[in-house]
Amino acid sequence: MAILESAELPSAPPQFTRHMPSLRNSPYLSSVVAGCAAMLTYLCMYAFRKPFSAATFPGEQLAGMDYKAWLVMAQVLGYACSKFIGIRVIAEMRRVQRWQPLLLLIGISWLALLGFALVPRPWNIVCLFFNGLPLGMVWGVVFSYLEGRRATELMGTILASSLIFASGLVKTVGRYLLISGVDQFWMPFLTGLIFVPPLLACVALLERLPPPDAADLDARGVRLPMSASERGRFLRRFLPGLALVIVCYVGLTVVRDFRDSFEAELLTEFGFGKRVGLFVQIETPIAILVLLATASLVLVRDNLRSLMIIHALMIAGVVCAGLSTLAFRAGLLPPLWWLGLVGLGLYLAYVPFNCAFHERLIATFKGSANVGFLIYLCDACGYLGSIVVILLKEAGGLHLSWSRFFGDCVLLLALFGGISLLASALYFRNKARLERRPVAPATILEPT
């Protein structure tokens, strides 16, 4: 991973930049283009990560557990290891010439998908571990192009919308390939091949983005690489609040990743397994609504006020997921509406964590930090939680249907996630007010 830390990487080759217009003199255009380029880059990355989940691998078992559960756990374990590595690597990464490590990481994951097709099962499970290992770094590299700007919420929300839309899109492409007769083990590699050309174009565009200007630096502070001692100081300064945030984020990651990985099984259980376009039909309205809600935060200039609004938005999200689950179990919601409303609630809480929350936290307290460090700290814990939950479902003796188990997880998230977010909001509000309070000058006693 040392390649991510190097400041001496060569400049992008001429074919990447020769015909690209400069965006430096148009800040508005730069913000919109930056967000779209980042979103499309991450969307293309999903074509190397999630297409295998469009297959159900019926009848495949290993050691008494569902074969697909092994695949999901292997990839998530690789992803989690990558997040732990990223706590240091992404935090210390220099903000220059990032196109090479970005393409290298995705290229390694694509080779792992080739191994998944060629290596006999069950040994090909290991290939998904090596598929997830490099991909966990991609978000931090892509977001580093966007952070520390006045329009970071707008750009970051456009990027984060790919978390919603991309999974449905690549799973739909994967399903079409399966229906066309492509083998389920070759389908992930071929899905990635389809997305290689747009990936190269989007990375080229990211490399043309200008750095934050003086007004950005004044409003949001300078974002520098963080040394180990700086990371330690930051954690000690905000440990109670960060612990509360991580509790909620672990729950969100577990439930969102479970829904994302096993959505095909949920739809099959409800009798919709053969409707190929349902992935996109469910996720697209969610992406639009979450994009509008989160992007509007760019209109709030006061950083502390924005941080509190973000907490309120995330609390509303987990409550929405919980209430819709109760309504579904009471027979008041049909299955597709339930999956859609739960998805809306999950992403209303999850997307701000991956763009606006950490950005506004750093801007509020003006500390020496970067968003990549905070995101990877939360992600590392979250994906470990995902592995534990899948093991609990498959090997823990819980003989529950997919929908029953998923619904129970959503209700637990709504309860404990809502409480931790409320406590987090109170902590950061009080801490900000205490640190902003002026210190009274010492009284000077005059001699009598």
Does any domain span residue 368?
A: yes
Q: Is the dihedral of CA 335, 265, 412, 421 positive or negative?
A: negative
Quote the mean pLDDT of the chain.
81
Token digits of residue 18: 């020769």
DSSP 66: E
**Residue for token digits 């290689």?**
196
CA dist 240 and 186 (Å) reads: 46
Residue 280: helix, strand or coil by DSSP? Answer: helix
Length of the chain: 448
Task: Tell me the average pLDDT across 214-225.
Answer: 67
Lowest mean pLDDT among 13-17, 103-107, 201-205, 233-237: 13-17
pTM (2 decimals)? 0.70
Identify whether 7 is part of a domain: no
What's 5's DSSP letter? G
**pLDDT of residue 113 exceeding 90:** yes
DSSP count for the chain of H helices, then E strands = 19, 2
Average pLDDT over residues 319-340: 93
CATH, residue 335 = 1.20.1250.20
What is the tens place of the pLDDT at every residue in 161-191? 777 778 778 888 998 898 899 999 999 999 9
User: What confidence category does residue 300 fall into, taking pLDDT thresholds of 50, 70 and 90?
Assistant: confident
Helix (H, G, I), strand (E, B) or coil at 61: strand
What band does 367 get if pLDDT is binned at 50, 70 and 90? low
Residue 199 corresponds to which amino acid?
A: L
pLDDT of residue 8 exceeding 80: no
Say what the pLDDT of residue 360 is.
86
Q: Which two tokens stand for residue 10?
A: 């060569």
Does 288 fall in a domain?
A: yes
Angstrom distances, CA of residue 209 to CA of 68, 150, 205, 263, 268: 40, 15, 7, 36, 43
- Inside any domain, residue 192: yes
Q: Provide the residue range defining the domain that includes 387.
A: 27-211+225-435
Question: Per DSSP, which regions of 373-439 are E strands?
Answer: none
Using an 8 Å Cβ cutoff, are 370 and 224 in contact?
Answer: yes
Kindly state whether residue 216 falls inside one of the protein's structural domains.
no
Rounded Cα distance, 187 and 180, in Å: 10
Structural domain includes residue 75 = yes
pLDDT category at 394 given cuts 50, 70, 90 is low
Tell whether 410 is covered by a domain: yes
The helix (H) or strand (E) run that includes residue 164 is: helix 152-179
> How many structural domains compose the chain?
1
Nearest of 403, 383, 429 to residue 82 by alpha carbon: 383
Residue 440, domain member (yes or no): no
> Residue 276 — pLDDT band, cuts 50, 70, 90?
low
Contact yes or no for 204/20 (Cβ under 8 A): yes
Q: Which residue has the higher pLDDT, 16 or 207?
A: 207
Beta-carbon count within 10 A of 324 CB: 24
399 band by pLDDT with thresholds 50, 70 and 90: low
